[in-house]
């Protein structure tokens, strides 16, 4: 069933033609990017808010841990629970859009996200904070995939990369200014405000959604794949529980049980997806080489880099004795690096193609991660800022290239499912990446003094750099080294 746009429209007014000796020139048709400028700003704001909340907690980890009377590394549960919830519930977004329409789903996502933020700001214990973060994740699960999907449906193929670059820039700004804002609020006000500021932002988002968001939906949505969703959610949750158990030095039998359970549920889902007409995640799309390379490369890249914010904050605040504000300020050079590279990404992709660019840039990301091991408590702040600037530049190029690669060879009818799969892979990798970074830090941490945190940080970033390097082999599997950016939806 074809998708329909049931957005409110204004019927054209018939105007009598005026006599003229020359034929009237037809007015120039505005570009899709110009016509949907308000939509691009709305999606950008949603990405900013979600990215901000994914990282704003990082700078506040020591302060929140002290207030809730837990160790800083114990806070990883509050971080991973949010991103895992995003990953688990994102596959529901295509069906929700087909059934209720993109406008209602996006509005509901903003509302639940704001409610979860309010609950986080009121939490008194770590378990309460974790539950509140899960509520946040329920709302945030629809923000990114629905936003991407609507842009794919609305923006012309030739303008999609530049539009996504705009959106991705705001997402990166949110992820960079999150630690800075978190440091400011923790040092001069109260850590609870890092969540409560989302409430008024959410109200503004609801107003913009009603005016700018088109309403794409199906006349008759198919039945939701509840059994497949439960299998997928269970496998994802057990994977993270296995990682959390290792980090908490759980019994080997418990860890093995979680891991085997995850593998069993994943195998059942693969079998189930082949036998149902509308699986919650359509694995048949992985036959498209550019899509599976994008998802697998995204997985290994984010597995290596997702915990970097947490490690850097712990290194600067505990290992080097920096204040939360000073540690947050070190994220600003990353924003500058990201913005500096953004205008050149489209041309770089056109010139080198996805294969060469991602292959070389992934190696660069790995090298930069390992180079962080050279830092010490005596390193001048301007050198630390230089490292962070370079890291922001290479990651900006990496994220935009990976995120757009997924759509290169797909028909627009698969855009919703591809967007869901890309977002799911992204957040699964983020949750596992944070767990891996915490596990490495805890493993290398002999005691809780400053020197031990410095030592653990150095070895952790080296291992994470090696994990990221594995993604370069995956991107090397791309057949076409000169993917044409201008002729593809991404």
Question: CB–CB of 346/161 below 8 Å?
Answer: yes
DSSP string, 367-423: HHHHHGGG--TTS-HHHHHHHHHHHHHHHHHHHHHHHHHTTTT--GGGHHHHHHHHH
Report the DSSP beta bridge partners of residue 216: 5
Q: How many helices (H) and strands (E) does the chain have?
A: 18, 2
CB 438 within 8 A of CB 73: yes
Question: Residue 457: which of 435, 476, 479, 437 has the closest Cα?
Answer: 437
Per-residue confidence (pLDDT) for residue 290, from 0 to 100: 80
For residue 288, give both structure tokens.
């498209």
Tokens of 361: 């840039």
33-224+280-475 placed in CATH 3.40.50.300? no
pTM reported for the whole predicted model: 0.71
Q: Are 69 and 75 in contact (CB under 8 A)?
A: no
Q: To the nearest 10°, the Cα dihedral for 464, 465, 470, 472?
A: 140
Asked if 397 contacts 348 with a C-beta cutoff of 8 angstroms, the reply is yes
What's residue 389's pLDDT?
93
Residue 14 CB-density burial (10 A; 0-12 exposed, 13-18 middle, 19+ buried): exposed
Three-state secondary structure call for residue 204: helix
Cα separation, 154 vs 26, whole angstroms: 23
From first to last of its 490 residues, the chain has per-residue pLDDT tens of 444 443 433 333 333 343 444 444 444 455 555 666 778 888 887 878 777 776 777 777 888 888 888 887 778 778 778 878 877 887 787 788 878 888 889 899 989 998 998 999 898 898 899 999 999 888 888 887 788 778 777 776 666 666 777 777 777 677 767 777 777 888 788 888 888 888 888 888 888 888 878 777 776 667 888 888 888 888 888 877 777 676 555 566 777 888 888 889 989 988 888 888 778 777 877 777 888 888 888 888 988 888 888 888 889 888 888 888 888 788 788 878 888 888 888 888 888 888 888 889 999 999 999 999 999 998 999 999 999 999 989 998 998 888 778 777 776 667 667 777 777 777 778 878 888 888 888 888 877 778 888 899 999 999 999 999 988 888 888 875 444 443 443 3
The reported pLDDT for the residue numbered 28 is 46
Q: Give the pLDDT of residue 461.
A: 93
Question: How far is the CA of 22 from the CAs of 16, 19, 106, in angstroms?
Answer: 16, 9, 48
What is residue 31's predicted lDDT score, i.e. its pLDDT?
56
What is the rounded distance in angstroms from the CA atom of residue 369 to the CA atom of residue 340?
20
Q: Which residues pair with 4 in a beta bridge?
A: 217
Contact present, 35 and 163 (Cβ < 8 Å): no
pLDDT at residue number 26: 44
| Tokens 């999907």 sit on residue | 149
Q: What is the pLDDT of residue 119?
A: 93
By the 8 A CB rule, do 264 and 315 touch? no
User: Which distant-in-sequence residues (6+ apart) come within 8 Å of 399 by Cβ?
Assistant: 168, 172
Q: What is the pLDDT of residue 1?
A: 42
DSSP state for residue 488 in the 8-state scheme: S
Whole-number Å distance between alpha carbons of 373 and 363:
16
pLDDT score for 140:
84
């Amino acid at each position: 069933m074809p998708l329909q746009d049931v957005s409110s429209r204004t019927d054209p007014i018939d105007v009598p033609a005026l006599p003229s000796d020359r034929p009237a020139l037809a007015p120039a048709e505005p570009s899709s990017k110009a016509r949907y400028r308000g939509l691009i700003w709305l999606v950008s704001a949603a990405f900013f808010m979600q990215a901000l909340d994914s990282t704003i907690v990082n700078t506040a980890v020591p302060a929140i841990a002290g207030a809730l009377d837990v160790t800083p590394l114990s806070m990883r549960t509050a971080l991973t629970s949010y991103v895992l919830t995003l990953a688990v519930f994102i596959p529901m977004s295509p069906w929700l859009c087909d059934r209720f329409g993109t406008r209602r789903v996006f509005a509901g996502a903003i509302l639940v996200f704001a409610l979860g933020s309010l609950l986080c700001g009121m939490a008194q214990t770590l378990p309460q904070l974790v539950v509140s973060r899960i509520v946040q994740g329920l709302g945030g699960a629809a923000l990114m995939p629905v936003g991407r999907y609507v842009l794919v449906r609305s923006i012309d193929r030739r303008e999609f990369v530049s539009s996504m670059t705009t959106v991705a820039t705001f997402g990166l700004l949110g992820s960079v200014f999150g630690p800075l804002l978190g440091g400011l609020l923790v040092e001069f006000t109260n850590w609870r405000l890092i969540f409560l500021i989302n409430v008024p932002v959410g109200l503004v988002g609801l107003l913009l959604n009603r005016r700018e968001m088109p309403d794409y939906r199906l006349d008759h949505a198919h039945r939701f794949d509840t059994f497949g969703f439960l299998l997928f959610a269970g496998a994802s949750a057990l994977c993270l529980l296995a990682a959390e158990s290792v980090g908490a030095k759980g019994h080997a039998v418990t860890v093995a049980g979680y891991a085997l359970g995850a593998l069993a549920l994943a195998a059942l889902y693969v079998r189930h997806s082949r036998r149902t007409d509308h699986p919650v995640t359509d694995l048949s799309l992985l036959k498209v080489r550019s899509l599976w390379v994008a998802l697998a490369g995204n997985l290994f890249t984010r597995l290596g880099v997702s915990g970097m914010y947490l490690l850097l904050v712990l290194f600067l605040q505990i290992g080097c004795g920096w204040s939360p504000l000073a540690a947050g300020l070190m994220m600003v050079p990353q924003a500058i690096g990201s913005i500096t590279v953004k205008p050149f990404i489209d041309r770089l992709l056109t010139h080198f193609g996805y294969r060469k660019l991602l292959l070389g840039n992934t190696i660069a990301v790995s090298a930069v991660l390992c180079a962080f091991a050279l830092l010490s408590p005596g390193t001048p702040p301007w050198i630390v800022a230089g490292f962070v600037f370079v890291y922001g530049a290479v990651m900006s190029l990496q994220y935009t290239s990976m995120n757009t690669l997924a759509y290169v060879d797909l028909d627009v009818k698969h855009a919703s499912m591809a967007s869901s799969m890309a977002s799911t892979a992204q957040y699964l990798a983020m949750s596992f990446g944070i767990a891996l970074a915490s596990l490495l830090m805890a493993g290398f941490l002999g005691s809780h003094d400053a020197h031990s945190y410095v030592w653990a940080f150095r070895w952790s970033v080296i291992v994470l750099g090696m994990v990221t390097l594995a993604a370069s082999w995956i991107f090397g599997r791309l057949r076409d080294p000169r993917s044409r950016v201008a002729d593809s939806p991404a």
